Amino acid sequence: MTVPTQTPVGRTSPPPHGSPAPPPAASRRPPWWRRLAADRVLVLAALPGVAALLLFHYLPWLGNVIAFKDYQPYLGILDSPWVGLANFAVIVDGDPQFLNALANTLLITALQVLIVFPAPIALALLLDSLISERLKRLAQSILYLPHFLSWVIVVAIFQQMFGNAGLLNSALRAQGLATIDVISNPELFKLLVTSQVLWKDAGWATILFLAALARIDLELYEAAAVDGAGRWRQLWHVTLPGLRGLIVLLLILRLGDTLSVGFEQIILQEPAVGRQASEVLDTYVFNHAVLAADWGQGAAVGLVKGVLGVLLVLGANKLAHRFGERGIYQR
């Protein structure tokens, strides 16, 4: 299907985007109340959703002021005393628990970028190369499914597979072999978490790569074959360049999430392996602010995390532009 990306649903076509000389139209633009009256249905339609975003997405950013306060729930946000940058001391002075959470976060992110990120690309190439359309669809239906299960369900499933009474250890016991502790073993925790993400989302993530593969021009493959390129050279010189834009885009988004790894997933499994092995920045914030009632400190760490996340996305995007990719936004 060939579709123009910017076709308005409305009656008047907008001034062509990016064309150099629209000013004459601007001087003839009707006053704002006329335009508001003309577009009132659209504006009214947008209002409830925008209000929800302002209330639950933007207003919370203001709540971050408690990072600079000694927040006491009974005093409220406004009346709690200011403490300057005292709450940031854990970060600056390198509180061991904070450093531990930071190290765990970075380690898990590294594992996930190394193992989870390439998996759907390989899987998409495999699915794309299937000749039987029915087989491909069946495989997709099966592989997409885990994405729609909650973390509670995924963690429960992994317990049933690898727990002490699970499938693996029952089989080992039946063979008279020693059992392996996978679920409550702090040393294996980061690999366990990574394999859970792999199981849950690798299949679903292929959907974007499959779409990108379908858009690669067939003639490129034919031309490569005429030039004597075999399967692997076609993969290297045609397929991978065709996926490059998407890979860069997804890497940027992943990089923006460097500091947040699976909050629900990890908080669920914290009791099994303890904080030393499992605590990441997000669970640190929760454990300190909500459970230990150290609100200001939790908010300070959360704020620094949020700001770093924004900087990471912008930085990665800049880097992508430098390499001539589109990134997440143009210009």
Q: Does 224 bind other proteins (CB under 8 A)?
A: yes
Stretches 84-92, 106-114, 161-169, 185-193: which one binds other proteins (CB under 8 A)?
161-169
- Cβ-proximal residues to 106 (8 Å cutoff; 6+ apart), any chain: 258
Residues 292-311 that bind other proteins (CB under 8 A): 295, 298-299, 302-303, 305-306, 309-310
Footprint on residues 189-208 left by other proteins (CB under 8 A): 199, 203, 207-208
Q: Is 210 in the site for other proteins (CB under 8 A)?
A: yes
Q: Does 230 bind other proteins (CB under 8 A)?
A: yes
Q: Quick one: 97 or 159, whose CB is closer to other proteins? A: 159
Q: Which is closer to other proteins, CB of 55 or CB of 177?
A: 55
User: Does 144 engage in binding with other proteins (CB under 8 A)?
Assistant: yes
Question: Among 131, 176, 323, 330, which residue interacts with other proteins (rule: CB under 8 A)?
Answer: 131
Q: In one letter, which amino acid is 249?
A: L
What separation in angstroms does the CA of 153 have from each of 3, 148, 182, 195? 40, 10, 17, 15
Which residue stretch of 91-99, 100-108, 109-117, 280-288 sits at the interface with other proteins (rule: CB under 8 A)? 280-288
**Which pair of tokens denotes residue 210?**
């499959």
Output Rg (C-alpha) for the chain, integer angstroms: 26
Task: Name the residue nearer to other proteins (CB basis): 42 or 177.
Answer: 42
Which of 121, 155, 273, 280 contacts other proteins by CB under 8 A?
155
Q: How many CB atoms lie within 10 A of CB 235?
A: 14
Shortest separation between residue 165's beta carbon and other proteins, angstroms? 3
Q: Cβ(273)–Cβ(231) under 8 Å?
A: no
Within 66-125, the residues that bind other proteins by CB under 8 A are 66, 76-77, 123
Cβ(208)–Cβ(216) below 8 Å: no
User: At closest approach, how far in Å is the CB of 19 from other proteins?
Assistant: 13
Neighbours of 277 (CB within 10 A): 19
Cβ neighbours of residue 239 closer than 8 Å, sequence gap 6 or more: 125, 213, 216
Restricting to residues 12-31, name those near other proteins by CB under 8 A.
12, 14-15, 17
Task: State yes or no: residue 10 binds other proteins (CB under 8 A).
Answer: yes
Of 75, 79, 160, 292, the one binding other proteins by CB under 8 A = 160
When binding is defined by CB under 8 A, the residue of 193, 246, 255, 277 that contacts other proteins is 246
With CB under 8 A, what is the number of residues at the site for other proteins?
121
Choose, by CB under 8 A, the member of 108, 124, 143, 255 that binds other proteins.
143
Centre a 10 Å sphere on the Cβ of residue 14 and count the other Cβ atoms it contains: 10
Q: Which stretch binds other proteins (CB under 8 A): 35-43, 82-90, 98-106, 184-192?
A: 35-43
The span of 89-97, 102-110, 186-194, 215-223 binding other proteins (CB under 8 A) equals 215-223
Beta carbon of residue 328, minimum distance to other proteins (angstroms, whole number)? 8
Query: In angstroms, rounded to a whole number, what is the distance separating the alpha carbons of residues 298 and 283?
Result: 10
CB–CB of 327/320 below 8 Å? yes
Residue 95 or residue 264: which is nearer to other proteins going by CB? 264
